[in-house]
Structure 1
Amino acid sequence: MASGWANDDAVQQQIDSSIEDAIARARSRLPRGESLHYCEVCDAVIPEARRQAIAGVRLCVTCQTEEDRAQAAFAGYNRRGSKDSQLR
């Protein structure tokens, strides 16, 4: 398939790179260390079951839900796939 100056596997490289970026971003958000007994944001008690289920948990369920919504709202911008990056 003719695609100008792009390599034959350019689309697959784009997909692989996007997946690697998403995995790195998800891993960087994983909690680390010892679980807290109280939420960092609202000081609510974090239940023992949650602390055992998620190592390094720092937020209560309510605050974690809000944090997840905020992260979902920021979908990011795929710079590699933008027309501008292809023209430069």
Structure 2
Amino acid sequence: MATGWAGDGAVQDQIDATVDDAVKRARSRLQKGPGLSHCEECDAPIPEARRQAVPGVRLCVSCQTTLDEEAAFSGYNRRGSKDSQLR
């Protein structure tokens, strides 16, 4: 299907380029290098398997879980309910 001056696959090419850029940006934010041998929060030893699996690891599993739970919580109801929309 012709779409003016754009080629047939131009829209899909643009979508692919956007996804590729997002993946590159996310990968560039990942930590690199050797991880710590002890957690920087609680000073517990970090297992060797975790240090190999997660490059640049700085927290033990329990501290990382706590941090992830705190970051995931949002105290706001952004979906809205029917009641709030009817008022």
Larger Rg: 2
Specify the alignment match of 1:22 in structure 2. Answer: 22
Q: RCO greater where, 1 or 2, for CA within 8 Å and sep 6 or more? A: 1
Q: Gaps (5+ residues) in structure 1?
A: 71-88
Displacement of 1:25 in angstroms is: 2.1
> Alignment identity in percent?
59
Cα pair distance change 1:59/1:4, threshold 3 Å: farther
Specify the alignment match of 1:38 in structure 2. Answer: 38
Displacement of 1:5 in angstroms is: 4.3
Aligned Cα root-mean-square deviation (Å):
2.8
Provide the aligned length of Structure 1 versus Structure 2.
68
Q: Which amino acid aligns with 1:13?
A: D
Please report the TM-score for the alignment, with normalisation by the length of structure 2: 0.53
Cα pair distance change 1:29/1:59, threshold 3 Å: farther
Please report the TM-score for the alignment, with normalisation by the length of structure 1: 0.52
Q: Gaps (5+ residues) in structure 2?
A: 73-87
